[in-house]
Amino acid sequence: MIYRPFVEHEAVKTGLWWSENPYEGVSPRNPHAKMGLDLIEIESLTEDNKAFVQKYWAVARGKLKDIGDVFQDFDTRDIVVSERIAEVIERLEPGEHDLVKIPNLWSLGSQERVAQTYYFLNVYAKARTVDLESSKVSWVVRKNDGKNIPFLTARTTEKSVAYESAGDDRHLWRDDVTRAVFMSEELVQALRDLNVRGFRFLPCTFAKHKVTIH
């Protein structure tokens, strides 16, 4: 089975941003810092990206009791996960993903440093995964060149149709066309065994035909 990971915003507080001043919310006088990662071009982090994580505070909107094991959506490139999740990913696929330890994480709701360790996760492993004809996909126009770019917008198993072979020997990856993130059954089960907070795992439907990549 192949799964799509979603963040359960209703279960935990998942808002997070980067700031030089973590003690106040985002405002014109206290804007959040942006790393500038491009969702379209999936690639490994640069040294400048890693230096960004070391320089700025990661600010969690919620109180300590409301913070779970994951922040942000897997549709973005601003994923932050707990040490428990990072350890499972590294155990199953060592060296296949960027996992950058966050030195400074602040709870705005509690006005207190978060003691637990979190990591910035960048998923850049890719495989042809989504059956575009059978899945619910939205097309948007990229501003810089006018090209139509597909995104997997499905939120149901029936409309998230994946090629079974995409999961061969992989545990965590992005579709090379829609950039959607997928997980193997082994990874999902390992995370469930840990009772991680803040995840919903959506099983995909397998495509009826095999993929042919030209």
Q: Is the pLDDT of residue 76 over 90?
A: no
For residue 182, what are the CA distances in angstroms to 25, 129, 148? 32, 9, 22
pLDDT above 70 coverage of the chain, percent = 98
For residue 91, what are the CA distances in angstroms to 43, 88, 95, 187? 21, 5, 9, 10
Contact in structure between 124 and 173 (CB atoms under 8 Å): no
* Residue 140's pLDDT band (cuts 50, 70, 90): confident
pLDDT at 210: 66
Please give the residue that has the higher pLDDT: either 52 or 26.
52
Cα 24 versus chain centre, distance = 25
* Residue 36's pLDDT band (cuts 50, 70, 90): confident
Averaged pLDDT for residues 178-190: 96
Q: Is the pLDDT of residue 187 over 70?
A: yes
The domain segmentation of the chain, as residue ranges, is 8-122, 126-206
Strands (DSSP E) along 38-178, which ranges? 57-60, 70-71, 79-82, 98-101, 105-107, 112-113, 118-122, 126-127, 137-141, 148-152, 161-162, 172-175
pLDDT at 1: 94
pLDDT at 21: 94
Contact in structure between 42 and 124 (CB atoms under 8 Å): yes
Mean pLDDT rounded to a whole number for the chain: 92
Averaged pLDDT for residues 98-125: 96
pLDDT at 22: 94
Please give the residue that has the higher pLDDT: either 26 or 92.
92
Contact in structure between 142 and 149 (CB atoms under 8 Å): yes
pLDDT at 212: 54
Averaged pLDDT for residues 86-105: 96
pLDDT at 214: 43
* Residue 103's pLDDT band (cuts 50, 70, 90): very high
pTM to 2 decimals? Answer: 0.92
Averaged pLDDT for residues 165-171: 93
Averaged pLDDT for residues 115-129: 95
For residue 4, what are the CA distances in angstroms to 93, 94, 141, 175, 192? 18, 21, 24, 11, 14
